[in-house]
Structure 1
Amino acid sequence: MIDRHIGRHRPEPAATPFQQFILKVHSRCNLSCRYCYLYTMADQRWRRRPPVMTARVADAAAARIGEHARAHGQRDVSVVLHGGEPLLAGPDRLRYVVRAVRDQVGDAAETRFSLQTNGTLLNGDFLRLFDDLGIRVGVSLDGDAQAHDRARPGPRGGSHHRVARGLAQLTAPEFRHLFGGLLCVIDLDQDPLDAYAALLEFDPPAIDLLLPHATWSAPPPGPPGAYARWLIPVFDEWFGAPVRRTRIRLFEEIVNVLLGGESAVEGVGTTPAATVVVETDGAIEQSDILAVAYENAADLGLDVFHDDFDAALRHPLTVARQRGVHGIPSECVPCRWARTCGGGLFPHRYREGSGFDHRSVFCADLDQLFQHIRLTLVSALSVKR
């Protein structure tokens, strides 16, 4: 039986084991980002969750990760320490979680750890800990100081100066190897090339440019196509540079699928979703981005004390996000980008009353962006002949 929110039943491919485990080590944050999907949108269950992941939850989650890796013969697994703001958990708790997972996975698989932070609390003590534990660090930075402070204020005003201070330490020679990259949410009020230049000042190895999370019932700011018009100049600058200074994952994955490959990120192509979340209370859930849709949208009714991750794999919501080409929304099937776009990010397809069987609320933007990148690739390949 398929939940009415997911769409009509279609043939189901074999389940793809989870490859990335997001551990919510702290469920609160010290910033009040204006676009935050977790705290300001439909799902407010964070209010009822404990702020910090306890040792008991960490131990159970670690055991489940090790169990899943061994059951599926996985060679490597990715563990992301997340929040809220994960640094609020403190160094002792972060160390405990990492060691618990490594102890439980053992030699069954290589375990790669990363952490996504807003950067305001990043300092030498944390960086020495991350160096000791082998944790790569991603930092959220929304372009230049003015735009960042407008989007990501703290209780005492803008946060850019604190993020820049943390990044200065992260990018110093001693810790540069820990730098995973920058995450930037698109702000239509900021000039795209100014934003790109501000990000490049920190010489990031990779940049994630993110669309603000939205649905058909809670649309994003700006008219259809505005995000494509923001992204295209950045793509042209990035693609046309004599020496490419960084990776931009959105662009790389679109190029991959247009050239016939597979995408490594959800929301581009039809690669099955292989990420699962463990909340601070031990609940096993789907992506927390589903908070934009409705209350409990990510809830699987499972927890690490009573359920293994295979139970999450069998859940209809997981199945819906692992159907590959069979999971393309009905109205997207005739589209020229059906297999390369895949309908866009799953939460962005939601419409109240009829669920997720819709094209992305950013459809017009994706169409323009795919078309522009395709034409650029055709032109570049023609020149090289």
Structure 2
Amino acid sequence: MTKILPFKAVRPAREFAGLVASRSYEDYNEEELKAQLEFNPYSFLHIINPGYKFQHEIGGEKRFGMVKNRYLEFREDCTFIQDELPSYYIYKIHTRDGDCCGIIAAASVEDYENNVIKRHEDTIAHREELFKEYLKVIGFNTEPVLLTYPDDPVINELLEERMRSRPEYEFATANKEIHSLWLIDEPENIERIKQQFAAIEQLYIADGHHRSASSWLLAKESRDQNPDHTGKEAYNFFMSYLISESNLRIFEFSRLIKDLNGHSKEEFLILLDEWFRIENRGIDIYKPSKKHHFNMYLDGEFYSLYLRKHNAKFTDALSELDSYILYEKILKPILGIEDLRYDKRIAYIHGRNDLIELKTRVDSGEFEVGFGMLPAGIEEIKQIADENLTMPPKSTYIEPKLRSGLTIYEF
């Protein structure tokens, strides 16, 4: 049984929505960021980059307070308003690849704590703590955790019914996406959605493991410091975007390695031969079509690597995961990559970018070798979470990616 509640979002006034909404801060290059900050006074980037107002780079805890100040300025100027009634928010993204839509709502930290909301990635303690302190100072959350649930015909019907009406927001972006948002604030529809989610036994984190962990830490601290704690306080919940499994888009990450760890090309291929059937594909671009098949680009040529069947001895869901096989059979023992997060010899390309980028970066001399694989499926991700296992870092790149600043959860 999951607890998914409506909330009173702080959000842009209708006329400002398209101007406020921004991509993730890290998604902008330096020129794009400067243009947004210089020519769009309504961009949410002004809030998360508060030092721009003074033409000064500000970091650390001083930045946290300034983020809150910029946010309060947006509220005082009525760029942001707050809904009077608790609502669920339907968010739809139309792309060239199709549509995806889901519900923005408040998820329970108690469900996270009790593993009703399941995770499949490890988190880093100091990042959890840093983001907890950030949330504590600014007092709001604008990046929802992406949660997924099995397709539900009742929820689908409710969404379809509401989406036949005029959206509260509808705007296009430079990458040819159309973003739309609707409110559901009628008591009878709110109750139907609440009860429908209550009948779902488990939810799975698709993206946002650190955000959910930090929200949980903040809730624990707030609970311990509040002698009148009831469990209904806003800090007991975190903003989430709930999307059905069929709406989820999962891509892989390719791996790029700077050197062969002292091995010659010939020595490296011989070491690979113990675990894989190797076929030189020459200059023909090769992309795997099956699990346990990998592509490799080395010295101007593509190779296919097929895990040898007699070596395919799996003990749990994690041991069958292709990103884990690549790590256990090649990256760690042969190439000496122990730490997938921090080793400076490894880099990643998400599956939204094609193999031409992998080839280009190896041909440039920046990297020596690149590897690719098929993306993990949702059932693999769920099984790993169900077995309380964790994937290697950068195992999945999951969409949709929401725009920041369209719904804000205060606590």
Q: Same fold (TM over 0.5)?
A: no
Q: Specify the structure having the higher radius of gyration (Cα).
A: 2
TM-score, scaled relative to structure 2: 0.25
The structure that is helix-richer by fraction is 1
The structure that is strand-richer by fraction is 2
TM-score, scaled relative to structure 1: 0.26
